[in-house]
A and B are shown apart, each in its own frame.
Chain A
Amino acid sequence: MRWTATSKKPFSRRGFLSALGGLAALQTFTNSPLAANLLDKRAGDDALLFASAYKNTDGTFGIGILDDYGQVLARISLPGRGHGIAVSPDKSRFVAFARRPGTFAIVVRPFKDAKLDVIVSEPGRHFYGHGCFSTDGRLLYAAENDFANAKGVIGVYDMSGDSAVRIGEFSTYGTGPHDIALTPDGRTLVIANGGIETHPDRPREKLNLDTMAPSAVFVDVESGDLVSEHVLDKTLHQLSLRHMALDASGRVWVGGQFEGPLSETPPLVAVFERDKVPTVTRIPDSLAPMLQNYIGSVTANRAGDVIATSAPRGDRTLFWRAETGAFLGAQTIADGCGVAPIDQGNFLISDGNGALSVVVEPDEPAEILARPPGISWDNHMVALS
């Protein structure tokens, strides 16, 4: 029987991996020798799976799919460096975006189609590296740059057919949108406008640091209308708002990257709600100078009551109580950046030295589960199940 015919919902681990095995025939996937064995061993259970972009020491880029033991089960080659990954609500597929100013996104649908679908950005647009699905999984929203006009847009893609079709776009009401997320009711898209103007002709250059004006906006996904817009205090206009996670109450936690002088230690984590004045968290004085004013990933645990914010330039990951905004503690993980929820309340953290570490208690040492040789995990990791 063709593998495509075998895997229907629910998505068992075996089904998922045999599907990837099918894709391996296309030479885009390779299975590690460990994979099959782990699979045999734990067949039938719906163990946790994760995905993250990586760089290999041989200079190639890809997406790694790994289990909760940190073992890489499959790899997908990418034509360039990846960044964020959007997972569909039913977990049947995911979209891995190129890092800005990349122009590709890879759609992986292991249960439906052996073929990887590649989305290429429209002329005049490039991806910012993040996106998310609509609640029904039919649409994909992608943060994009209308670089001729230095305006952020959200590209809207119909994902219901065999290949993605771009059906429109709406404004982000700001410059340099980065991470986006849908509110729990599925009707409003939250967008972190980083505020930084860039142009693909000068790929990694920041063109407006003196005048940058980041914002967090709430946009109606039906009409594209602006519902509400929030900016932080004007002393924080150089805090580029970039990555986000929603907590159990639907509050939006956003991590920032401060473009002002390193001698300052402004707040780096802010909490937004549609109709309230935003607040910022207080980073302990003992930690603040270490972080180099840079937050990488922002992730909620499964219960949504703890938020993790990684700070790779300070080798630290900080944890916050979602309800109160209180600082819970920090873990030291060298070059740690990708953070995904694992188990009930814990986090899996990936780092540039290849390690995957589990954090159970904020103040107990993290446990290094695995370190696949040759791999540097890139900025973000997501849970696939």
Chain B
Amino acid sequence: MMRFLVLAAIAASFSVPAWAVEVKAPLERIISDYIVPASAQFANTAAGLPDAVMSVCETPGEGTVASLEKVYAQTVFDFSRIHFLRFGPLIENDRLSRLAFLPDPRGIGQRQIRKVFASRDAGVLSPDSLGSKSVALQGLTAFQLIAFDKNGSIVLGAPGENKDFTCGYAAAIAQNVAAIAESVARDWANPDGYRALLLSAGPDNERFRTTKEAVETVFNGLVTGLIVARDQNILPALGSSEAKAKPRRFPFARSGNSILFLKGELSGLREALFNMNLQDLTPEDFQWIFGSLSFEFANGENLLEQLKPPLRETLGEDGSYAKVSLLAITIKSIRDTLALELAGALALSGGFNALDGD
């Protein structure tokens, strides 16, 4: 942060992006070119989940299982590409926590699900009543716990005394997820919705008095996304050493979708950031930042390409622990470049406590 302050001072004394003239372009671009299409994509994929559940439950077999695996994996992937947008439509009405209850290191979801099964709680069998239950019971993480076994195989639709109940619950989750995804996409696409709030900064806007504040909300959201990607989604699984690694702590490890999730998260963060075209507002002296960011993102995405799913089984093979460790370092480096260098160059403020303590 020291560098940030120094850079901020330099930026202030030389050429500052003209936030004073209310530059809305980065916001318009990230909304139109990334957030709206990525949200629509997620809604579109999630809309296929209820049918895939129904098929596997009505006619269990290789074909329907493979199809559910595919739709679920694609839904997780498309979710990973928007889950870091922790502002506006995605966080209204607890939507993000209802879509996926993360992190959950103490297994709250698992315990609540056990209780649901023990009592055959019919409240989880319709999307409406499920929607008023604990957020940990409602989304893709709960779905993973009931539809997949520990080895990553789909057990939904398998014969047994729990079959109908599990199928009913899985169908309710699928419909709930599809409905929430649809709401998020609709709200982001609504020209009078949150996007209007972001784009109408000014004295009459209760939330954003200046465009700079609106840009900071989005930009700091991406920085937080990078912190989540490393500190929450990777480091707990790596543990303090290879011997102490806990690969089941990667998000969506049970269903074998961890690498997919991490890929979607990182590529999503890159696309969201680069869609803002912040180059246009960055002084000449700091243009190197974008080359550096591209290079680091490419490094991270290359590392992910080299990993073999499912990570909960393969972590430790073929130097994969070292690769994931390097990925964590790479993401930290991206975060620092963003939060220290680029924020400084653009005179954006971040770090709630760091910046403005007392």
Contacts and interface: CB of A to CB of B under 8 A. Distances in A.
A37 interface: yes
Nearest to A54: B352
Nearest to B217: A57
Interface stretch (B29-37, B105-113, B267-275, B319-327): B105-113
A164 interface: no
Interface string A247-272: 00000000001000010000000000
Contact of B358 (A36, A71, A99, A335): A99
A374 B91 contact: yes
B133 A371 contact: no
Contacts of A374: 86-87, 91
Given A57-B91, A59-B206, A368-B103, A335 B352 contact: yes
Interface in A136-195: 178
Contact of B236 (A59, A289, A365, A372): A365
B227 interface: yes
A365 B230 CA distance: 13
B257 interface: no
A39 B353 CA distance: 31
A335 B351 contact: yes
Interface stretch (A9-17, A88-96, A349-357): A349-357
A328 B204 CA distance: 51
Contacts of B299: none
Contacts of B231: 334, 355, 368
Contacts of B115: 41
Contacts of B224: 353-354
A33 B94 contact: yes
A102 B207 CA distance: 20
A34 interface: yes
Interface in B265-314: none
B52 to A, nearest CB: 26
Interface string A6-43: 00000000000000000000000000111011100100
A353 B111 CA distance: 27
Given A69-B106, A371-B228, A374-B86, A352 B352 contact: yes
A337 interface: yes
Chain A CB within 10 A, most for which of B98, B105, B236: B105
A55 B356 CA distance: 12
A59 to B, nearest CB: 5
Contacts of A351: 353
Given A351-B353, A374-B86, A33 B358 contact: no
Contacts of B134: 33-34, 36-38
Interface string B115-148: 1000000000000000011111100000000000
Q: What range describes how many residues of B lie at the interface?
A: 35 or more
A26 B132 CA distance: 21
B235 interface: yes
A285 interface: no
**Interface size of A as a range:** 35 or more
Given A34-B135, A100-B358, A376-B352, A262 B2 contact: yes
A199 interface: no
Contacts of B137: 37
B357 A337 contact: yes
B7 to A, nearest CB: 13
Interface in A291-317: 292, 294, 296, 312-315
B106 A296 contact: no
Most interface-central of A32, A334, A351, A367 (chain B CB within 10 A):
A334
A129 B358 contact: yes
Contacts, number: 122
Interface in A342-385: 351-355, 364-365, 367-374, 376-379
Contact of A373 (B96, B106, B133): B96
A222 interface: no
A371 B103 contact: yes
Contacts of A45: none
B1 A314 contact: yes
A233 interface: no
Nearest to B233: A368
Given A353-B227, A379-B353, A370 B103 contact: yes
B13 interface: no
B354 interface: yes
B302 to A, nearest CB: 25
B207 A59 contact: yes
B86 A69 contact: no
B351 A368 contact: no
A373 B221 CA distance: 11
Contact of A352 (B86, B94, B354): B354
B232 interface: yes
**Which of B102, B106, B354 has most A Cβ within 10 Å?**
B354
A355 B357 contact: no
Contacts of B90: 373
B202 interface: no
A275 interface: no
Given A37-B112, A57-B217, A337 B353 contact: yes
29 contacts: A33-B94, A34-B134, A37-B112, A41-B111, A57-B91, A59-B206, A99-B358, A100-B358, A262-B2, A292-B1, A313-B1, A315-B354, A334-B231, A335-B351, A336-B353, A352-B352, A353-B227, A353-B228, A354-B86, A354-B224, A367-B236, A368-B103, A368-B231, A368-B232, A369-B103, A370-B103, A373-B91, A379-B353, A379-B358
Interface of B: 1-2, 5, 86-88, 90-91, 94, 96-98, 102-103, 105-106, 108, 111-112, 115, 132-137, 206-208, 217, 221, 224, 227-228, 231-232, 235-236, 239-240, 351-354, 357-358
Top-8 shortest CB links A-B = A352-B352, A37-B134, A337-B353, A312-B353, A374-B91, A373-B91, A376-B352, A373-B96
Given A41-B112, A377-B353, 9 more contacts: A34-B136, A37-B133, A41-B115, A315-B354, A365-B236, A365-B239, A367-B236, A378-B352, A378-B353
